[in-house]
């Protein structure tokens, strides 16, 4: 299955997915990285793995619809069937949602619906919860909403700070996201 990963940041999830795809562990081909941030480190990771990058500058467009039409064009050219959001910090608009209905995944570092949006780990620590985790869900028009596919919980130990929790969350994400993608490819989800 041909997939595109959408990312705006460091790209650790992109890296794991693209490597596993190249090693044949995952039955997908990462055809494209879509990136909306000029200096996002994920772009170097894509270059290192030979994955083409479509980077766009949102402020160069008047409307979301305009850049999503450009994205759609490259997705179609690459025969992309599934969109995998991995730290793409932007709401998906109707253009992409209609073209890829039920075929857009997102990962989020909390047990949704708790702590959507940015800085989910910091939000959880601020709220003094004892348990947080990771959610993988289908994307709809909302911010980190849409039907939940998979969740895993993580206990926050006494005295742990954001970076300690983030490390554990990242390990969980790197295990869970490829697993769910593979289950989708196999038709098990
Ligand atoms: C991940 O932790 C992902 O769950 C989060 O961004 C990070 C990207 O990390 N996504 C969200 O917060 C979406 N609301 P990465 O660039 O190292 O893959």
Chain segment 107-135, per-residue pLDDT in tens: 999 999 999 999 999 999 999 999 999 99
Chain segment 147-156, per-residue pLDDT in tens: 999 999 999 9
- Compute the CA torsion angle 136, 49, 57, 98 (nearest 10 deg): -40
- Specify the CATH number for the domain of residue 33: 3.40.50.170
Cα of 169 from ligand 1 centre, angstroms? 10
Cα of 109 from ligand 1 centre, angstroms? 7
Indicate the number of domains in the chain.
1
Residue 28 has pLDDT above 90, yes or no: yes
The ipTM (two decimal places) reads 0.98
Please confirm, yes or no, whether 108 is among the known catalytic residues.
yes
Catalytic residue among 39, 73, 76, 108: 108
Confidence of residue 189 (pLDDT cuts 50, 70, 90): confident
Confidence of residue 186 (pLDDT cuts 50, 70, 90): very high
- Compute the CA torsion angle 112, 118, 123, 124 (nearest 10 deg): 40
Q: Which residues pair with 146 in a beta bridge?
A: none
Q: State the pTM of this model.
A: 0.96
Which strands make up the sheet holding 2-6, listed edge to edge? 53-55, 29-35, 2-6, 82-85, 104-108, 131-138, 148-155
Instruction: Tell me the residue range of the domain where 153 lies.
Output: 2-185
């Amino acid at each position: 299955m041909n997939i595109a990963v959408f990312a705006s940041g460091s790209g650790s999830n992109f890296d794991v997915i693209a490597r596993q795809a190249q090693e044949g562990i995952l039955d997908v081909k990462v055809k494209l990285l879509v990136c909306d941030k000029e200096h996002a480190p994920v772009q170097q990771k894509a270059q290192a793995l030979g994955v083409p990058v479509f980077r766009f500058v949102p402020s160069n467009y008047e409307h979301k619809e305009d850049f999503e039409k450009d994205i759609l064009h490259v997705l179609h050219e690459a025969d992309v069937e599934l969109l995998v959001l991995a730290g793409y910090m932007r709401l998906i608009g109707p253009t992409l949602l209609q073209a890829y209905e039920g075929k857009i995944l997102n990962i989020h570092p909390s047990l949704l619906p708790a702590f959507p949006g940015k800085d989910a780990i910091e939000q959880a620590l601020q709220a003094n919860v004892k348990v947080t985790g990771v959610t993988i869900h289908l994307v709809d028009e909302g911010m980190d909403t849409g039907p939940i596919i998979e969740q895993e919980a993580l206990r926050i130990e006494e005295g742990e700070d954001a970076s300690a929790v983030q490390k554990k969350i990242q390990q969980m994400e790197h295990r869970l996201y490829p697993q769910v993608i593979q289950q989708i490819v196999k038709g098990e989800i």
